[in-house]
Amino acid sequence: MPSVNPYYDKLPGSYLFSEIGRRVREFTAAHPRNRLIRLGIGDVTSPLPPSVIRALHRAVEEQADPEGFKGYGPEQGYEFLRRAIVEDSFRNLGITPEEIFVSDGAKCDLGNFQELFDLSCKVAVTDPVYPVYVDSNVMAGRGGEWKDGRFSGIIYLPCNAENNFVPDLPRERPDLIYLCYPNNPTGTVLTKDQLQVWVDYAREKDCLILYDSAYEAYISGPDLPRSIYELEGARDVAVEFRSYSKLAGFTGLRCGYVVLPRTVPAGRAAGGGTDLWSMWLRRQSTKYNGCPYIVQRAAEAVHSQEGRAETRTLVKKYMDNARVIRAAFEETGFRVYGGEDAPYVWVKLPAGLDSWSFFDRLLHEAEIVGTPGAGFGPSGEGYFRLTGFGDPSLTEEAAARLKRMYKAIPE
């Protein structure tokens, strides 16, 4: 057999959600009659909005018609969708349809984008972190050694209650900086001033920000930035990643996009003056054949007046759940973060209680599945994540169980 990529061996044994799955399976095998409430994995539960379903049906019918049939689509996605995106989300921000690259979701884009950079590039992530940023760089060979819950080659920027979840600028200059706001897993946000600090830093130090705004639709604060391009100078130093998954329930349908301004230079490694836009186009047209036409029509419907109203209702439902969870934990005496501009509630555990122990306790005593903070990085230890994506009545039930649990079992 040929030698395999040795860097896969560097990845820590079990992916967070596999370990959760294993513990849940063990519990359900032992207690088959008990009804678990799952507030762990960040998947949506509501069906797709009606306007999206109608657009899908129409697009499917077109495929039966010789006039409407579509084969391979344009490399960057259909212009109808790229125009709708710019009109709806980037008007007045200087972004053009040709700077949008449609894909089958943000996870693939975020995992693939690091391919454009030299292996010597230094990567910084906020900690706790959405694991894809770290793991994809480790697979490529940028991780160094895994020791004490972190990779020696990655710069971790702790975000915790002590710094109010605002990362400090790194002491060592990174080449690539992954930022995610609203944040998964902490549910926290950055103000415009706080984000501007990062844009200014990237400009001064010649870094690239990879800005994941998969949860932008959950922002309610009127002055919070929804796109990094609202910040002065960001067009030269930032690439933004967006997704229809949490905006409109596309976790199964799959659609997302990269916003890549033509003004972002490729940096020293490219040598020949290539810009990042051209490199990403080359990468995508070599390795990817596009998001399905019917899905792009469905995504287009999200940007219609009806679609926007429907997705607002969807987002409100999940945010109401997040508020229920937040309130229940606050009532039982926990300190709670997030859950105001993001569907994630980040609970600080009492001193001495580690996040996997709390996971087991919540599973066994309240039959609720959440996510241990330690699974998101070293600074996640001592915290626990719950999501607002559940069914509202089950979320209420989970809140009631939690309150009962803490009445029955004093700390």
Footprint on this chain of ligand PLP (rule: CB under 6 A): 42, 105-107, 110, 130, 180, 184, 212, 214, 243, 245, 251, 256
* Closer of 110 and 363 to ligand PLP (Cβ): 110
- Written as six digits, the tokens of 102 are 């449609």
In sequence order, the 6+-apart residues with CB closer than 8 A to the CB of 71 are none
CA–CA separation, 156 vs 67, rounded Å?
53
Helix (H) / strand (E) containing 276: helix 276-287
Q: Dump the DSSP string for 12-41.
A: -SS-HHHHHHHHHHHHHHH-TT---EE--S
* Closer of 265 and 292 to ligand PLP (Cβ): 292
* Closer of 250 and 329 to ligand PLP (Cβ): 250
- The single-letter DSSP state of residue 70 is -
Helices (H) and strands (E) in the chain, counts: 12, 15
* Closer of 243 and 371 to ligand PLP (Cβ): 243
- Written as six digits, the tokens of 293 are 């036409």
Q: How many CB atoms lie within 10 A of CB 348?
A: 17
Cis preceding-peptide flag for 182 (omega within 30 of 0):
yes
Q: Dump the DSSP string for 339-400.
A: -SSSSEEEEEPPTT--HHHHHHHHHHHT-EE-EEGGGG-GGGTTEEEEES-S-HHHHHHHHH
Closest CA to 383 of 160, 195, 234: 160
Cα 197 to Cα 22, 166, 202, 368, distances in angstroms: 42, 11, 9, 39
* Closer of 129 and 234 to ligand PLP (Cβ): 129
* Closer of 106 and 294 to ligand PLP (Cβ): 106
* Closer of 110 and 209 to ligand PLP (Cβ): 110
- In angstroms, what is the minimal distance from the CB of 82 to ligand PLP? 17
